Structure 1
Amino acid sequence: MSGPQTTPDQSGQVSDAVTGNWVDTYAPDWTRPYLRLSRADRPIGTWLLYLPCVWGTLLAMFFTGEMRVFDLWIIIGCGIGAFLMRGAGCTWNDITDRDFDGSVARTASRPIPSDQVTVKKALLWAVVQSLLAFLILITFPLQAIVLGIVALVPVAFYPFAKRFTWWPQVFLGIAFNWGALLAWTAHTGTLQWPAVALYLAGLSWTLFYDTIYAHQDVEDDALIGIKSTARLFGDQTPKYLAWFLVITVALMGYAIVLAAPRGEIFALLVALAGPWAMGWHMVWQLRRLKLDDGDLLVALFRSNRNAGLLPVLFFAIALLV
């Protein structure tokens, strides 16, 4: 591969880091390369991994009609686990992509291609994060632990998907929404159809937001042979995003209907307002979308934190009415 197309920041800051982030502002110097590997300076990925966990927990509580102290730990534990596993997954991704990242303008400043961290140290860091996440996982019921271990398969496999398929975002969705299955199972003790429908809704949502994100790199990806839905769809992207929007809302609504207790019509309607509101947020993103505006693409991608928080709000209200 050719060398980087941009000169990395001498401070080591990654080019697409959030302005004024805590890593580059407050973290000790020696920790910064490792925290950058974990994308701690770009927290949106942790949110996108975590939100399906919260959906799964709240929808499971809606299904059983039970709210226990342990459910609070599921939500907190999944938050810590999402931070750690997102960090481990991103570190693994950077290890496997190290020969590509140096040739892409947006990724040339990452810690491995910019020589802030060696591959061996990065691999050790991925193992440390994974082990810490495992300590969280083993506090959950056995069925959830098994699901958590199985989740390592798509996490390990995802970085290679863009080398052989135009749909790597599907593999990202498989990995990123696993928390919906795990959190549901941690509460109920078994995996059931509402959780599966919720999981598939999250997968469709991932196709929506990560296709937007991938449009930043279509030119560089074409030069080095990396595949993505952004390259596959091209100028037809808005049409496909509209379909992902509809599928996301429909599947989440179906999950809610499957989970709703009989006779709780008002609570059901409140819960259904979650995917409805989320769908309108996605419509707002589509209306603003400009495929050639990199800054806007990043802003829209990051706005999906707010989109994903809308079902959390309405699910929580539905539990209280």
Structure 2
Amino acid sequence: MFFRTKDTGPVSDAVKRHWVDTHMPPWARPYARLARWERPIGWWLLLLPCWWSVALAAIAMEAPGPNLWHLALFMIGAIVMRGAGCTYNDLVDADIDAQVERTRSRPIPSGQVTRAQVKIFLVVQALVGLLVLVQFNVFSIILGVASLVPVAVYPFMKRITNWPQLFLGFAFSWGALMGWSAAFGSLSWAPVVLYAGGIAWTVGYDTIYAHQDKEDDALVGVKSTARLFGSWSKPAILLLYAVATALISLAAVLADAGPAAFAGIAVGAAHLLWQSIVLDIDDPDQCLKLFRSNKVYGLAVFSGFVADALIHWL
């Protein structure tokens, strides 16, 4: 039953002629689309707060750079759990997705897979994520299990609040706690403040993303910060990005970071400012490009933290 899928074609907003649609066996393509394997920006945005936290912990410990084993584990975990999260989200949102032009070609509403197949795939991904999680200390395992709470509630928030992006931030920024916990077996103010900064960043970039669907969202009754902010979205996003920059800078101060870390934050802040200036909330294609460009921001911050950890050690 698991292998008897129906490949009706790619999702309309996915990357065209991607390896998922050209090289994977037809029966596996619907599962790859559920997990968004053809759209790596999602797992990058989940991964980067983890990597920030690993590198920030290295600065605080005066270690010779971030723990490479932890970086690798978090990458595997981010890819798998982002896929599991998307699968769960599609399962919850199937009725809404069927009413939205951009999402009605997703595997569930288009009939590529059954709900039973989706549930099996979800369990398989979750078990791989669990295998990654148990490589860490006990405190981190408990903390990782606790992350399932914001993940579980997020898909329902668009139905009851104008701030579903905030709940996405709770889930997607959790790694800012995990990297530090993996190193120290505990938390302190530095990762907590880093987590808050990640939340503000997430609300900002996902507001940009949500502007792609605002007309359809209004028709089906889905709420978002894009609809809430409306014509005030650009200053609201700029404010969110400013808060994110201030909080991440404070986290660096609390970890006793040096100039290289703040240089990385400054480069990232310049990128966020550019996003806020050029954003056209009525251009869906540009909104998607700007959303994806947040990988640049995350890598700039991470690079600064890594450089500072190495300088601290030397």
What's the TM-score bracket when you normalise by the shorter of the two chains? over 0.9
- TM-score calculated relative to the size of structure 1: 0.93
Q: CA deviation at 1:16?
A: 1.2
Letter in 1 for 2:224: S
Distance in 2, matches of 1:25 and 1:273, equals 41
Deviation per residue, 1:165-196 (Å, 9 max, x gap): 00000000000011110111001111111000
Q: Secondary structure of the residue that 1:94 maps to in structure 2?
A: helix
Query: Which of the residues 204, 207, 213 maps onto 1:211?
Result: 207
Check the 8 A contact 1:62/1:259 in 2, yes or no: yes
Question: Is 1:95 matched up with 2:91?
Answer: yes
Distance in 2, matches of 1:128 and 1:68, equals 33
Question: Is 1:25 matched up with 2:15?
Answer: no
Check the 8 A contact 1:278/1:307 in 2, yes or no: yes
Q: Secondary structure of the residue that 2:49 maps to in structure 1?
A: helix
Q: Which moved more, 1:282-291 or 1:295-304?
A: 282-291
Deviation per residue, 1:129-176 (Å, 9 max, x gap): 001110010010111100110011111110000000000000000000
Distance in 1, matches of 2:252 and 2:128, equals 33
Q: Which runs of 4+ in 1 moved over 4 A?
A: none
Name the residue aligned to 2:167. 171
Name the residue aligned to 1:263. none
The percent of aligned pairs where both chains have the same amino acid is 50
Query: Which of the residues 53, 62, 78 maps onto 1:56?
Result: 53
Distance in 1, matches of 2:54 and 2:128, equals 22
Q: CA deviation at 1:66?
A: 2.1
Distance in 1, matches of 2:192 and 2:17, equals 38
Question: Is 1:255 matched up with 2:251?
Answer: yes
Distance in 2, matches of 1:176 and 1:205, equals 10
Q: Secondary structure of the residue that 1:105 maps to in structure 2?
A: coil
Name the residue aligned to 2:4. none
Question: Is 1:182 matched up with 2:182?
Answer: no
Question: Is 1:313 matched up with 2:310?
Answer: no
Unaligned stretches of 5+ residues in structure 2: 1-6
Name the residue aligned to 1:268. 258
Query: Which of the residues 271, 277, 299 maps onto 2:267?
Result: 277
Letter in 1 for 2:295: R
Distance in 1, matches of 2:303 and 2:24, equals 32
Question: Is 1:79 matched up with 2:75?
Answer: yes
Question: Is 1:156 matched up with 2:146?
Answer: no
Q: CA deviation at 1:11?
A: 4.7
Q: CA deviation at 1:68?
A: 7.9
Distance in 2, matches of 1:104 and 1:67, equals 49
Q: CA deviation at 1:118?
A: 0.8
Letter in 1 for 2:11: V
Check the 8 A contact 1:177/1:203 in 2, yes or no: yes
Q: CA deviation at 1:307?
A: 1.1
Deviation per residue, 1:2-48 (Å, 9 max, x gap): xxxxxxxx852011112332211221211110010001111110000
Distance in 2, matches of 1:134 and 1:228, equals 31
Name the residue aligned to 2:292. 302
Q: Which moved more, 1:133-142 or 1:275-284?
A: 275-284
Question: Is 1:42 matched up with 2:39?
Answer: yes
CA RMSD of aligned residues (A): 1.2
Check the 8 A contact 1:12/1:111 in 2, yes or no: no
Question: Is 1:286 matched up with 2:276?
Answer: yes
Q: Which moved more, 1:234-243 or 1:269-278?
A: 269-278
Name the residue aligned to 1:225. 221
Letter in 2 for 1:273: A
